Chain A
């Protein structure tokens, strides 16, 4: 790593996107302004602002936001001076029309995310974004559900559609360090050297920062993180922690460590109505390999149907549910409730 330790990392903040999951898509416009301003001042490369499930994610299935994506994006655009304004788009939820509107509101970078085996549903969105002159990064989600070689082939497809950067997106926080390393190696074997790679971590097994470091050692140039780890499940790699580590390692990250610490502590952590941390429920997400944003929906279903959250999460993992299938959380809870009733009846 020594030979390129001065390579400037692209720090992508996700506090105002993945962080939406942690507070059920509840940021006020003032909070978006204040947090964006602090991030911009602290020198991050890009700030992602969208409903947790991307453009148009506002719904019964994923939770209605306090505001529309355009209101949030416009609020951030008012205050951000240097950082690139990023939006998330999941084909199947958001459309090119939504992306056009986000562009008009000030977004200049888009992250197009698909399940790690379904890259070919992103072609029309990537091509439109490139045509519009946007920066395009692609997220292959739930990366633990595809082996390194076929994973890299999916990355190659996205590169062929025009992606500038492909991310190993550990949506379940279920990878191990070797798994991260192997996916980057497989991508670097077949991608054009000009195509960048990036890491999006979840901290469910407590490995978020380690993944970011492993990714950089493999040549990744874009790193995701969020203030106070604000994100689905046990959260993303906490940005202030990552930058402190990167600083001690002598990496070129361009951020103000203390500015990020202050923003995390003063602006973001107080908003967490459910602590963002590794605990029984979030650890179960990493252990069972399910989508991190299932957390709060599973906790709700647990209350409503009297089924243990962990049992719901483990069953979702067993059924191989993927990102976006939040409707199956209640379906599983109803099945488990019925099974419990039946077994009690059998015992009588």
Chain B
């Protein structure tokens, strides 16, 4: 029997996750899609696909007849709204998988730390940019200590809904912290850019890691192995260019103001994420990587609980 879940938020991310579960999951079943706007496209889509809906937010969900059977809640709203959703979720003993950058619970990036944190009542999925880039920081860190890692995520304007737009600071802050806490960089920095080009541009991520000196071949191999692991749940995730290296000598170190001088190797990783086009077209890799990571996390959670 499939485990029932509910998705809070009927915007781009919530709707994409709903369609993804319906089409691909043998483990999960969508018990409800929860919105606050009765005229939203996401709720209309759910009704068409036979998924129960409410337009009265999480309070409406609690009142729904099937609420007791729902084990896992996904939050696809915004950081500001998440605190209340978390409170209600805990009161009813549900597990919350948080896709907003609220970061109340520990960060999970499936290829890096999935099994370590799954007993927490609230799990945070960092950000779309974090899901795309933290695996790469981790790949470099497996080979050499990372002094500093920086990521630039570019997404198509059309794929950034009002929640993302109102939470730009939360994106950069949460991603930076995730680069440190999960990626293992001593210092993390994140930048996001919205590009309105038409036709829309594919999600791009660039990762710069400044690590201690080592064989560049070891870094290249570690990065390529990690890309293959991410591809297992995000098929459109790929290296756009060969991994680039630059040796930073002790005589010409990189000066990071406020932090000091660093030498070693600068690794530049150019990624592209093509979405599965479950809701928005394939340029929206940012939706796909977030919802794929959340789905993978929930499925693993169910498996582990069955074993236990």
A residues bordering B, Cβ < 8 Å? 56, 58-61, 64-68, 71, 91-93, 95-97, 115, 117-118, 120-121, 123-125, 145, 319-328, 330-331, 334-335
Contact = CB atoms under 8 A, between A and B. Distances in A.
A68 B172 CA distance: 18
B245 to A, nearest CB: 12
B168 A324 contact: no
B167 to A, nearest CB: 8
A61 B206 contact: yes
Contacts of A123: 166
B233 interface: no
B82 interface: no
A92 B204 contact: no
A213 B244 CA distance: 46
19 contacts: A58-B257, A59-B189, A60-B266, A65-B257, A68-B257, A92-B171, A95-B172, A95-B173, A97-B173, A125-B169, A319-B197, A319-B201, A322-B196, A323-B193, A324-B154, A324-B191, A325-B152, A325-B195, A334-B242
Contacts of B168: 91-92, 121, 124
B268 interface: yes
Contacts of A93: 172, 191
Given A121-B194, A325-B195, A64 B257 contact: yes
A320 B157 CA distance: 13
Contact of B193 (A64, A324, A331): A324
Contact of A118 (B162, B166, B196): B196
Given A118-B196, A327-B206, A92 B191 contact: yes
Contacts of A323: 193
B50 interface: no
Contacts of B206: 61, 327-328, 331
Contacts of B266: 60
A92 B172 contact: yes
Contacts of B1: none
Contacts of A319: 197, 201
A325 B257 contact: no
B257 A328 contact: no
B254 interface: yes
Contact of A115 (B196, B240, B254): B196
Interface in B180-217: 189, 191-197, 201, 204, 206, 208, 210
Interface centre among B169, B172, B204 (most CB of A within 10 A): B169
A64 B257 CA distance: 7
B172 A331 contact: no
B270 interface: yes
B165 interface: yes
Q: Provide the main secondary structure of the chain A interface.
A: loop
B65 interface: no
Contacts of B256: 58, 64
A115 B191 contact: no
B150 interface: yes
A14 B102 CA distance: 36
B257 A71 contact: yes
Contacts of B208: 60-61
Contacts of A59: 150, 189, 191
A327 B196 contact: no
B196 A95 contact: no
Interface string B229-250: 0000000000011101000000
A124 B157 CA distance: 18
Given A58-B257, A68-B258, A121-B194, A96 B150 contact: no
Given A321-B195, A327-B270, 17 more contacts: A58-B256, A61-B191, A64-B254, A68-B257, A92-B191, A92-B193, A95-B173, A96-B169, A121-B168, A145-B196, A324-B152, A325-B152, A325-B154, A327-B152, A327-B154, A328-B154, A335-B241
Contact of A66 (B169, B242, B255): B255
A298 B303 CA distance: 50
Given A58-B257, A66-B257, A331-B270, A124 B195 contact: no
Interface in B85-143: none
A330 B244 contact: yes
Nearest first, the 7 closest Cβ-Cβ pairs linking A and B are A327-B206, A320-B197, A324-B193, A60-B208, A95-B169, A117-B196, A68-B257
A91 B169 CA distance: 7
A92 B195 contact: no
Contacts of B270: 327, 330-331, 334
Nearest to A118: B194
